[in-house]
Structure 1
Amino acid sequence: MAVHVILGKGPIGGQTADELVALGHRVRVLSRSGGTSTGTVEHRAVDAGDAVALRAATADADVIYNCANPAGYHLWNQEWPRMASALLDAAESAGAVLVTMSCLYGYGPAHRYMTEETPLEAVGHKGRIRAGMWQEALRRHEAGRVRVTEARASDFFGPHATANAVFGERVVPRIMAGKGVQALGDPDAPHTWTYTPDVARALAVLGTDERAWGRAWHVPSGPALSQREFAREFARVAGVAEVKVGRLPWWLMINLLGTFQPALRGFAETRHQWDLPFEMDSTAFTAEFGVKATGLDEAIAGTLGWWRGRAA
């Protein structure tokens, strides 16, 4: 039985663990706080930046999944370099495949429609960090030192996508209650959204199919919808009247709220993702592995069902 080790127990790490267990794999989840182990998932408390502890906890791993993230954008410069280096070293030492969960920041503001062939031309520090992580991983892969692959997704919605998701706790519960919401940037700019269970399913594929290794892949995602259109679809599936969609001023989001929540200031670098069209093509994944994005109605219904369960 293969050993699959997941770093991070957040919205993606937890669902990836469930997906791998369903496929019959032995699963271990590493996180700073640890957790209660069950008959199917082992939990250990490990700091991802502690290279020695990480190597010990992954020594028997066949596949390592990087589903971790620093607690806020303001910590990326401090935490990602040591975490990324420790993960690569651990995978190389164990002879394990390293699957990294990533985003679209590395492409930078010059690109409105992104495929896996789009150049990594980020100009902001978060985008450069993400691009650099992949470039170093690929360098080691091409040198024959470690096998790597990377999943890139757009903005999450779905089960467990809460505080850090645009269509999370700030928006979805209000739509369910028939209340108006505020959009970031242009509410009518087309935008790709990625359903969290689709991310978990994609990661499980990338970790277990050698065709995936040595390149990055976009997670299967549905057609782009503006925030106004997305809110309208949520209201329709929820069975409530269409809600009003306003616009949250950037000065309020970044300058005022960012004074009390430093992580919000990080949105300044990604304003282009909300002020302009931001579309991701994920057809390569579907063509290669036969995995499609969950249908929009099913994904929204799954999201609403999770939020209703959480409220109960």
Structure 2
Amino acid sequence: MLVTVTGGTGFVGAHTVAELVRAGHRVRLLVRGGSAVGAALRPLEVPPGAVDAVLGDVTDERSVAAAVRGADAVVHAASVYSFDRRRRAEMRRTNARGTEVVLDAARRAGVGRVVHVSSTAALFGPGVRVIGDDSPVGASREPYAATKAASEEVARRYQRQGAPVVISRPPALLGPHDPKLGDQVRRLRDTLRGIMPVWPAGGLQIGDVRDTAVLHAALLDPEVTAAHPLGAHFGPGHHLTTREYVDAVRRASGRALPAVFPPAALMGPVGRLTDLVQPVWPWHIPAEHEAIATVGAAVRVDPAASTLGLKPRPFADTVADTVRWLVDTGAVTPRRTGGR
């Protein structure tokens, strides 16, 4: 099967490409720059000849049409994942408009299967504490969640029109080999560096990027999807409190990592101030209001929600593998992990 993957040089996309190649598929990438392909896929042991690439952007109709032409399936993983309000316009353009362009091109090309990579955040909104198979699209006003909700609404519209679209909803993700050192892996790095000693009390749904990649490959298997006919499936993950998260990092690193956990409501004003200051501050401040609000809401996935029957690997393994990768790539020094 020829599978076109958007966002294939990002965290979720690169791991998905590796899993698709292992499953025997041919892969075509839509990428903005060809030089990123090797850097993203080589560490995942993807053979150079297993993928080809079309240069372009998910918001450009011509390049998207070229990328999906002749494809049997499309995995739309391109997305901007950030709580940084400076990237609002970029998130609207890529997350919402990009989904419209890709799904329209896939429909016009007669693609037989489209996996739209959404997010648990697409279901977030005021008062929402549990999400599941029947949850409506969220009504969050926070930039990332709002744009992912908009993109999922596009995917649901295509489903209602009869398009062969299935939705995946990964949780927050960790794991080794993050080509662009995205938000979650960067927070883990900062925790190891000792510059994130304050965490809002609350929780988060979190999983391993490799498990989500397995989900995406499974969603292209007709036998699997015939047995699980729902239009959307959640990425495997765990619901952890922020204390449990930090404790897992402590065990993986062998360090004490002092931390305090004030109520999220008390940290909300700090987040608002961060959002005001960030546009003129030269460095990223990891205390955005959306991040604080997300943890404070502590939204969990209903245990009965579909993951295609896939189970998450132990979170301790995910953290240990991610920490090891951060050390191996020089993102943190060995002394930050007890010399491991």
TM-score category (smaller protein): 0.7 to 0.9
Partner of 2:214: 201
Residue in structure 2 matched with residue 10 of structure 1 by the alignment? 10
Query: Post-superposition shift, 1:233?
Result: 1.1
1:156 alignment partner, one of 163, 173, 195: 173
Deviation string 1:48-77 (CA, Å, 9 cap, x unpaired) is 111122111211111111111248334223
Q: Does 1:231 align with 2:246?
A: yes
Instruction: State the TM-score, normalizing by the size of structure 1.
Output: 0.84
Name the counterpart of 2:76: 66
Question: Is structure 2 residue 108 aligned with structure 1 residue 99?
Answer: no
Q: 1 CA distance for matches of 2:287 and 2:248?
A: 28
Q: Counterpart of 2:235? A: 219
Counterparts of 1:266 and 1:27, CA distance in 2 = 38
Contact preservation (8 Å) 1:151, 1:218: yes
1:258 and 1:265 in contact (8 A); partners too: no
**What letter matches 1:90 in structure 2?**
A
What CA distance in whole angstroms lies between the structure 2 residues aligned with 1:264 and 1:150? 32
> Who is 1:294 aligned against?
313
Aligned-residue RMSD, C-alpha: 2.9
SS of the equivalent of 1:182 reads coil
Q: 1:290 to 1:280 in 2, by over 3 A?
A: closer
The alpha-carbon deviation at position 214 of structure 1 amounts to: 5.8
Contact preservation (8 Å) 1:158, 1:299: yes
Report the more deviating stretch, 87-96 or 132-141: 132-141
**Partner of 1:244 in structure 2?**
258
Three-state SS of the structure 1 residue aligned to 2:135 is coil
Secondary structure of 1:171's aligned partner: helix
Q: CA deviation at 1:92?
A: 0.6
Q: Percent identity?
A: 23
Tell me the secondary structure at the aligned position of residue 290 of structure 1.
coil
Letter in 1 for 2:50: T
Cα shift readout 1:123-160 (whole Å, capped 9, x = no counterpart): 4164444333323323333333x200111122222224
Which residue matches 1:77? Answer: 92
Match of 2:23 in 1: 23
What is the letter of the counterpart of residue 273 of structure 1?
A: T
Q: Pick which of 289-298 and 54-63 moved more.
A: 289-298
Paired residue type of 1:101: V
Distance 1:25 1:183, change over 3 A: farther
Q: Distance in 1 between matches of 2:252 and 2:149?
A: 37
| Contact kept? 2:54, 2:63, Cα under 8 Å | no
Matched, 1:117 2:134: yes
CA contact (8 A) 1:124 1:269 kept: no
| Aligned counterpart in structure 1 of residue 49 of structure 2, from 27, 31, 39 | 39
- Displacement of 1:262 in angstroms is 10
- The letter of the residue matching 2:313 is T
How far 1:256 moved relative to its partner? 2.2
CA distance in 2: counterparts of 1:246 and 1:291, whole angstroms: 34
Q: CA deviation at 1:13?
A: 0.7
Q: Return the alpha-carbon distance in structure 2 between the equivalents of residues 181 and 135 of structure 1.
A: 35
* 3-state SS of paired residue (1:293): coil
Give the one of 279, 297, 300 matched to 1:276: 297
Distance 1:125 1:172, change over 3 A: closer
Out of 71-80 and 40-49, give the one that drifted further: 71-80
Letter in 2 for 1:13: G
Question: What is the rounded CA distance, in whole Å, between the counterparts of 1:219 and 1:165 in structure 2?
Answer: 18
| Corresponding letter in the other structure for 2:109 | A
Question: SS at the partner of 2:74?
Answer: strand
Judged with a 3 Å threshold, the aligned counterparts in structure 2 of structure 1 residues 91 and 266 are, in CA distance, closer, same or farther, namely: farther
* Aligned residue identity for 1:244: P
- Displacement, 1:241? 2.8
Q: Which runs of 5+ in 1 are unaligned?
A: none
The AA in structure 1 aligned to 2:323 is L
**Distance in 2 (alpha carbons) for counterparts of 1:293 and 1:100:** 20
- Higher mean alpha-carbon deviation, 199-208 vs 263-272, is at 263-272
Quickly say closer, same or farther: Cα 1:203–1:260, change in 2 above 3 A: farther
Structure 2: where are the runs of 5+ without partners? 39-47, 82-86, 262-266, 332-340
Which residue of the other structure, out of 123, 138, 143, is the alignment partner of 2:161?
143
Instruction: Give aligned pairs, total.
Output: 301
Matches of 2:98 and 2:205, distance apart in 1: 28
Find the counterpart in structure 2 of residue 285 from structure 1: 306
Range that drifts further, 203-212 or 296-305: 203-212
1:7 Cα deviation (Å)?
Answer: 0.3
* Structure 1 pair 125–278 and aligned structure 2 pair: CA distance change class (3 A): closer
